[in-house]
Structure 1
Amino acid sequence: MTMAEKHTNNDLENKICTFLNDKEDGATALQIAKGVGLKKASDVNSVLYRLEKTGQLFRNSDQPPIWSRQKRSAATVKNSQPTDALAEELKKMMLSDGKSNGMKSYHLAAKLNVPRSEVNKCLHGLSRSGEVKRLGETSLWKVDETNGGGRLIKYKGEFQDCSIELKEDSRFFRDFELVSVLGAGGFGCVVKAKHKLDGKIYAVKILENTIKASREVKALAMLKHPNIVSYYTSWDEEAFWINEFNDDDSTTSSQYPTDSEQRDSCSSANGAENSGRDLSCLFIQMEFCEKGTLNDWIKKRNEGTKNKFKKALHMFRQIVSGVEYIHSEGHIHRDLKPENVFIGEDETVKIGDFGHVTITSSSPVSRTSETGTLIYMSPEQTEMVYDKKTDIFALGLICFEILWKMPTVSEKLKLFENLRRQIFPEDFKNKYATEHHIIRKMLSQTPAERPDVKEIAKYLEDFLLRNSTALEQKSA
């Protein structure tokens, strides 16, 4: 480290210590960063931990952690949870005096004649339980206007944190009991929910109410097929939304995260530090598939010893059947991949996630750039001029993936890169000569050279009828 860098670090350490000298209740990393003129928590994290090692700072076990100049005793930490009486007084005060614009903690402390440190502890506790919220990145606090607190749907994932606050009288919480959060992404989140009236389990997708979301609902409502996830209903309602990707410098992630790498559904999210926004959200109630995704099945197969060739081919036939129906109804899915294929309790395979669906055409036309997942995209899809044959390319990659074990992500990326150049593993060509032939055609660089989905369906029917003995041998 140069002398200039040391001087800069020392200066930042002094600024942080000076800032915290006036904060008897401590502050989060983001609050500290703002207080010393920086933008993000990651701008000060390394310095905070260095100061902790030298005994100049202390942090508690809250999420996010609270940093202070004094060490808090176990009793103090334990008592940092809001007492019922003070919590109710704070909420009443915010609902009366701060109903529109919110209130600052020191105003609340003065009005209630309570130490500011106790008010701050109580507010942070209420924030973690979802009863109050901070307005953006300000120091103003506010309660839901309806009845003193909204209800949170929280998710902490490997690559995505999500926190959605709904009003207590929202249709979702009126009709459903939240079971768990299945996953989150840039689109929003999907939850597993039990309907209070019929007692059945459903998947409910929650996303911003946009033209794209409306297009997904219309497609789901129109497409009715045994190999398509069933749609039941949809509605919109207001929500306060915090939804951001983790950008911790210490996190290294695959370019293509998978569902099973998500974790801790319904947990307290780090997003509590981040500003949110009021949004009109669309709720889509769909069929819940008990056995997860095709991606989950592939992972278990990769970890096992059995090949499961026969089952894989029967599953692929169902996927092809679903795509054949989608194309016959004048649509292109545009985001076919194992994560968007689901498996029901009776082993029926169903295609879902129609967020990228579009209308098909008799000839290639220019389309939008929001075209799906890069690793499964056809060559022409990235150029935004394509037709329904783009789905065939993705089907070719899926077919290869359910037949051939690829234990690691790096191995999968390398093999997929080769497949795009028509380079197949020699062992695969020897063991799956017939399958290799059809997959190679599906992965043709030129869309016109790819078979249409009806040809693929006929091939599968003929092959499965003719080769029952061969299927058993390949599955051994």
Structure 2
Amino acid sequence: MDVIEMAHKQNESLEESKLRGTGDISVRNLAANGPGNISSKDMILRADQIDLKNLDAQLDKHLSRVWSRNVESQRPTEAWEIDPSKLEIRYLVAQGTYGTIYRGTYDGKDVAVKLLDWGEDGSATVAETAALRASFKQEVAVWQKLDHPNVTSFVGASMGTSNLKIPSGNPTEGYTTLPSRACCVVLEFLPGGTLKNYLFRNRNKKLPFKVVIQLALQLARGLNYLHSKNIVHRDVKAENMLLDSSRNLKIADFGVARVEAQNPSDMTGETGTLNYMAPEVLDGKPYNRKCDVYSFGICLWETYCCDLPYMNLSFSEISSAVVRHHLRPDIPRCCPSSLANVMKKCWDGNPDRRPNMDEVVRLLEAIDTRKGGGMIPEVTELSHSSIVSNESPELPSWVKFLGEKNGDDDDDFELPSLAYWIENYKVDSQDLDVKSIVNNIVDSDVDKVSRILKGRFDSDVDVFRALKGCKIDLNESLVGQVLRRFSCEWKPAYGFFQWAKLEKRFSHTPDLYNLMVDNLGKTKKFDLMWELVEEMSKLEGYLSMVTISKVMRRYGKSAKYDDAINVFKNLPKYRMEMDVNALNILLDSLVKGGSVEHAENVYKEYKDCIAPSLNTFNILVHGWSKSRQIIKAKTSMNEMRSHGVAPDAITYTSLIEAYCHEKDFRNVDAMLEEMRRKNCPPNIITYTVVMNAYGKAKETSKALEIYEKMKQDGCVPDSSYYSSLINILGKAGRLEDSREVFEDMGKQGVAPDAYTYNTMITVAAHLSREEEALKLLYEMEKNQLKPSIDTYVPLLKMCCRLDRMKVLSFLLTHMFKNDVSMDLGIYALLIRGLCRNGKPQHACSIFEELVQRGFLPAHVTYMKLVEELKKKGLLKEKDRVEELMLQAKQQNTSDSSSSNV
């Protein structure tokens, strides 16, 4: 009877129906006749023709399922186990030999989810299943203890998880579920993708030598850490290395990793990927951690060449050639010998001659990656023909009109090369309405909240009411994003903050409290800010010098110097020490707020009870230099010497900057010489300041000569230096030269950062090169560099100047999606820009939105708009603007700093 029952279950597994007998109880007959059509004759079996060995195996596999479920129901919960209810699996990322990788979220954080079969498909015996699970538990137990910046962070795991909703490979199929329980490993998600894909993208231009060494060092340090924990990865390859958004490398995929055996003969068998396998592994001999060193050598070659090893050989040819003929990848002649030697040491055929990973790290750290010029344009090579003149107000050739032409068609255009990107933001050029832009963005919980918060509110209580019934899952990331989006609007930000705390019972972290404190200080709601600070003081561990520094800096920027000083004096009230660190924060806040005089007075008051530091004096010297009071700056410099503190490069650079403001280059050169005499050579910041000064003085040739002086002092250009050079060339009208410097930065081992992109965008926008400017913004997004207000200001000015209403709408949408809040300055910029270009009717909608958001327009902005409306004869609009201004004044008068929530 057991045999017939197993035959009826043939749909569960093909193995269970492979019974050999003459009774025709076969898969073929069952499929043809169906179990209900089997006759009693068919069910007569000859005992001597039943495969008893196969039957025993099948019974053993069924017992495995029952056994595992009983054991799993009784076992205690492990410390590393996740809560499956908090896991959301979104979409498939990759499939491999040892599992399937999905993108998802766990407890609101981006994660990668690796799913493996749990051994309940009947293919494993009880013993095999037990061994599988014991091995997995051991691997996870080791992995959870790993903590290194070059190893992928472990979030948690789950053994035998059931009822997971797994997205199907076909988007139209929705979700599917694993046929049985699964093993689930949750890791941090790294958005930069695999090292293999990064190398493939750079296969044509290759990587700068400095980048090669950086990536190699990160991999070497990660492997050295694993080996220090007696862990052998056994599958080191570019595909198993991941990059974060800053191009930091992290080792991933520990599917075949294991703790190194004390007896080398315990570790045998082909494990890994053929192209990267060490000869001893390919040959089936015992091996140890040195197999990882060999694989690292192959990865090092691959990173330098941006190519795959042994491309023209089959797997069998590779295996034979590596083991018997000592085949290794060809090292290019241009490869520096220092790097080539590391490769050769690592892939030595004798494991005992290969270095340990700690030695590899030292070898790589000793390599000098500094490169000389080659990218700095020579003065004689830059022709006057490269100067870009102002372009015609007519649309350039790359503009494509949408629909039929009419009188206002110059407002509606599309960049062919960027059209798909702009269209994804669903902008509408018919009316420049900031509120409608937000209403069209509803993709996530953040956007749902944003749509509500973009309404008009008389108080934070109204915000609280508007959010009632809003069904969203709150987490730290979401709350932080909303607070940043509305950082310039205290009512929606504070109302949301309180709603999340009181209505949703969400526990704000210290970072979120600090962000809200900063927002209230930015909008000058100081009473509310202090209420929040007092609340933080009652929560253990919440109030810190981070909070206090934000308060002091906001007072400083608002010219409330006495209030900032009182915060410092009241530190003991909050059980904080009035030490030199707190003093320096106060002095810096006062100086950056525009009052070095107040900073000097505070210093004199406390210098006898708080020993000043080098930073203390540097802040004062910088303050006096910035206000162009060189004599007082030198007095502060003498004061620091009297305290036994020697001036450093920052001190001298502040004085040099003061002379630069005066265009006193004779004294600049004298200070540079003094720095060298005092054994305090100028650094890259010093030279960048001097080069900027020459650029502002329109002495471009002198600015370019700075590079030679830098080389003499051994200074290596950084991203700030290149950005300044780009800015100088751009302002001289030499956009092509700016672009050449920008594109060559990577070859010199210096990656362009957000500041560099902002500089390039400013140059292109200033020269009305709109396609170039928008392409740069697109590149920033692709390279995962976060734009700031400085990114958008030149673009917005350009669009106002060139009547690009559709692109203006797109940019406002792009700003909002990137959590860049519109402050009073941006609104004023748009109003002035549109008025200047004869479009006061568009400026009216901006003005109305400005008032409705709770801002009080500057009188000069208001008068400019009224005058332009008069000139155009738009009297109805003029009356509306006057009415709005009166409303804004009344609103500002009645608007108190206290909250009613």
Match of 2:297 among 387, 396, 402: 396
What do residues 403-457 of structure 1 show as CA deviations (whole Å, max 9, x unaligned)?
Answer: 0132798348799777775566776144332211121111111101111111110
Distance change (3 Å), C-alpha of 1:175 and 1:265:
same
- The residue aligned with 2:278 is 378
Partner amino acid for 1:468?
R
Distance change (3 Å), C-alpha of 1:206 and 1:266:
farther
Q: State the shift of 1:356 in Å.
A: 1.3
Q: Is the 8 A contact 1:187 1:207 kept in 2?
A: yes
Query: 1:224, 1:350 → 2: CA distance?
Result: 11
- The residue aligned with 2:150 is 227
Q: State the shift of 1:345 in Å.
A: 1.6
Distance change (3 Å), C-alpha of 1:171 and 1:361:
closer
Match of 2:93 among 177, 182, 191: 182
Q: Is the 8 A contact 1:293 1:339 kept in 2?
A: yes
Q: Is the 8 A contact 2:268 2:281 kept in 1?
A: no
What do residues 230-263 of structure 1 show as CA deviations (whole Å, max 9, x unaligned)?
Answer: 011111235489x9xxxxxxxxxxxxxxxxxxxx
- The residue aligned with 1:321 is 221
Match of 2:109 among 195, 200, 206: 200
- The residue aligned with 1:124 is none
Partner amino acid for 1:385?
P
Query: 1:453, 1:178 → 2: CA distance?
Result: 36
- The residue aligned with 2:363 is 459
Partner amino acid for 2:147?
K
- The residue aligned with 1:213 is 136
Percent identical across equivalent pairs? 23
Query: 1:460, 1:268 → 2: CA distance?
Result: 49
Residue 236 of structure 2 is aligned to residue 336 of structure 1: yes
Residue 260 of structure 2 is aligned to residue 349 of structure 1: no
Partner amino acid for 1:185?
G
- The residue aligned with 1:278 is 180
Q: Is the 8 A contact 2:92 2:101 kept in 1?
A: yes
- The residue aligned with 2:654 is none
Q: Is the 8 A contact 2:140 2:157 kept in 1?
A: yes
Secondary structure in structure 1 of the residue aligned to 2:294: helix
What do residues 128-187 of structure 1 show as CA deviations (whole Å, max 9, x unaligned)?
Answer: xxxxxxxxxxxxxxxxxxxxxxxxxxxxxxxxxxxxxxxxxx964x32332211112232
What do residues 317-355 of structure 1 show as CA deviations (whole Å, max 9, x unaligned)?
Answer: 000000000011111111111111111122221101111
Secondary structure in structure 1 of the residue aligned to 2:180: strand
Q: Is the 8 A contact 1:422 1:440 kept in 2?
A: no
Instruction: Note the 1:37-436 alignment, pairs <5 A.
Output: 172=84, 174-195=85-106, 197=107, 199-209=108-118, 210-239=133-162, 265=169, 267=171, 278-279=180-181, 281-302=182-203, 304-361=204-261, 364-369=264-269, 371-382=271-282, 383-406=284-307, 410-411=311-312, 421=325, 428-436=332-340
Greater relative contact order: 1 or 2 (C-alpha under 8 angstroms, separation 6 or more)?
Answer: 1
Query: 1:216, 1:366 → 2: CA distance?
Result: 17
Query: 2:342, 2:329 → 1: CA distance?
Result: 15
Query: 1:471, 1:323 → 2: CA distance?
Result: 34
- The residue aligned with 2:802 is none
Q: State the shift of 1:188 in Å.
A: 2.3
Query: 1:458, 1:284 → 2: CA distance?
Result: 34
Distance change (3 Å), C-alpha of 1:422 and 1:408:
closer
- The residue aligned with 2:474 is none
Partner amino acid for 2:288?
D
If the length of structure 2 is used for normalisation, what is the TM-score?
0.28
Q: Is the 8 A contact 1:231 1:285 kept in 2?
A: yes
Give the structure with the larger strand fraction: 1
Distance change (3 Å), C-alpha of 1:180 and 1:430:
same
Partner amino acid for 1:206?
L
Q: State the shift of 1:364 in Å.
A: 3.0
Query: 1:234, 1:472 → 2: CA distance?
Result: 51
Match of 2:342 among 431, 435, 438: 438
Q: Is the 8 A contact 2:230 2:259 kept in 1?
A: yes
What do residues 26-82 of structure 1 show as CA deviations (whole Å, max 9, x unaligned)?
Answer: xxxx9xxxxxx999xxxxxxxxxxxxxxxxxxxxxxxxxxxxxxxxxxxxxxxxxxx
Partner amino acid for 1:301?
N
Query: 2:214, 2:199 → 1: CA distance?
Result: 14
Query: 2:303, 2:345 → 1: CA distance?
Result: 17
Secondary structure in structure 2 of the residue aligned to 1:365: helix
Gaps of 5+ in 1: 1-29, 31-36, 40-103, 107-169, 244-263
Secondary structure in structure 1 of the residue aligned to 2:101: strand
Distance change (3 Å), C-alpha of 1:233 and 1:462:
same
Give the structure with the larger helix fraction: 2
Q: State the shift of 1:378 in Å.
A: 0.7
Secondary structure in structure 2 of the residue aligned to 1:386: coil
Query: 1:432, 1:392 → 2: CA distance?
Result: 20
Q: Is the 8 A contact 1:291 1:345 kept in 2?
A: yes
Distance change (3 Å), C-alpha of 1:180 and 1:340:
same
- The residue aligned with 2:494 is none
Distance change (3 Å), C-alpha of 1:461 and 1:236:
same
Partner amino acid for 2:143?
L
If the length of structure 1 is used for normalisation, what is the TM-score?
0.52
RMSD (Å), alpha carbons: 4.0
Distance change (3 Å), C-alpha of 1:292 and 1:425:
closer
Query: 1:413, 1:435 → 2: CA distance?
Result: 28
Q: Is the 8 A contact 2:290 2:356 kept in 1?
A: yes
Q: State the shift of 1:267 in Å.
A: 4.0
- The residue aligned with 1:259 is none
Q: State the shift of 1:391 in Å.
A: 0.6
Distance change (3 Å), C-alpha of 1:180 and 1:426:
closer
Distance change (3 Å), C-alpha of 1:231 and 1:438:
same
Residue-pair matches, total: 284
Query: 2:311, 2:373 → 1: CA distance?
Result: 29
Secondary structure in structure 2 of the residue aligned to 1:284: strand
Q: State the shift of 1:315 in Å.
A: 0.7
Q: State the shift of 1:213 in Å.
A: 2.8
Gaps of 5+ in 2: 1-13, 15-25, 29-33, 37-81, 119-132, 376-745, 749-901
Q: State the shift of 1:217 in Å.
A: 1.3
Query: 1:316, 1:299 → 2: CA distance?
Result: 16
Q: State the shift of 1:361 in Å.
A: 4.8
Partner amino acid for 2:180?
D
Q: State the shift of 1:387 in Å.
A: 1.1
Secondary structure in structure 2 of the residue aligned to 1:292: coil
Partner amino acid for 1:189?
T
